[in-house]
Amino acid sequence: MISQSQSDLNQFSQAMDISLNSVDQSQSLYQRFQGINTENNLDNQNEIISVQSIRIPFNKVDFIQQPIQSKKIMPAQIKKIGNSYQFYIFDLLLMEATKNGLLNQKYIIQSESKALVGKIKILESGKLFVFQDGGMSPKKCTNQSFYRKYLGSICKNNELKCHIPKINQQNNQIYTYSPVYFKKNKEIIQQNNQFFEFYNIFKFQKENLWSIFYKKELTSDHFLIKIQKTDENSYEVLYTTPINHLQSFQISIALIQIMS
């Protein structure tokens, strides 16, 4: 489980404005999130990505779907504007998600160039959030190479669970899994379980902090993503391998919806 101390919790009672423009400020963000952690030190997860060390290509769609480098941590910021969420890294707008569909039961995610990069489907009255890439429905396409891919989900039952496809170590890409339909939990849980990793979600209500940990073994925890609400419409995010930028945005939106 998670160990806490009063001194750790007091760190979050101080109001701070964090900008992701500089390495020092990004490191400060990382240190703040580290104030609450697991019983084991995250020794191999302590190198935060700086603006100097990252190259964002002109084709941001490819970049959005690239997993974070091993043993690296990416800082980001999410801003809520009306019915939309915007995702920034180092003050660069990377993606925007807008609620859409019948009864507003899905989010459409576009790159800053308005290319479709992903979706979030909200099922079972908000108890299940399903993440997809920007591929096509098998109902509308016969070429399997264009099928949409499943990028993960968050299930809200007795406890919150997050799971995502594993990374293929040979090419550092997620295992391809293109389901035909997303219907309740049957397809998500029963199909291709060997390709999924399951994560536990912990909530620190007082600090507006959510953390997702992967329980590798009984004595070792590994965080996947940490999200903290900084004001009414802003959130700070840290995330790491094996997820990519799109998955981190999808997971964050799902948790923000659960928070509210």
Q: Kindly report, residue by residue over 41-62, the tens digit of the pLDDT.
A: 444 446 777 665 677 766 788 8
Q: Is 234 within 8 Å of 79 (Cβ atoms)?
A: yes
- CATH topology for 18-259 is Tubby Protein; Chain A (3.20.90)
Lowest-pLDDT range, 6-10, 13-17, 219-223?
A: 13-17
Residue 232: pLDDT over 60: yes
pTM over 0.85: no
Residue 29: pLDDT over 70: no
Lowest-pLDDT range, 102-116, 181-195, 198-212, 216-230?
A: 181-195
pLDDT, position 156? 80
> Rounded distance, CA 198 to CA 152, Å?
10
**What value does the mean pLDDT of the chain take?**
70
Cis omega (within 30 of 0) for bond into 138: no
Task: For the chain, give percent helix, strand, coil, nearest 5.
Answer: 25, 40, 35
Residue 217: pLDDT over 50: no
pLDDT, position 203? 64
| 3-state secondary structure (DSSP) of residue 5 | coil
